[in-house]
Amino acid sequence: RSDIVGVPLALLLLHANATVTIVHSKTPQPELQRAIANADIVVACVGSAALVKGEWIKSGACVIDVGINSVADACKARGYRLVGDVDFEGAKERASKITPVPGGVGPMTIAMLLRNTVALARAKETVTGPHSTSSHCGNVTGLHQLPP
pLDDT per residue as tens digits for the range 108-134? 889 999 999 999 999 988 877 666 555
Q: What is the pLDDT of residue 131?
A: 61
CA 134 from centre of chain: 34
pLDDT over threshold 90, residue 10: yes
- Could you tell me which of 76, 88, 147, 86 has the C-alpha nearest to residue 118? 147
CB-count burial class (<10 Å; 0-12, 13-18, 19+) for 130:
exposed
pLDDT band at 34 (very low <50, low <70, confident <90, very high): very high
List the one residue out of 44, 36, 41, 46 whose CA is nearest residue 14: 41
Contacts of 77 (CB under 8 A, 6+ apart): none
pTM: 0.78
For the segment 33-46, the average pLDDT, to the nearest whole number, is 96
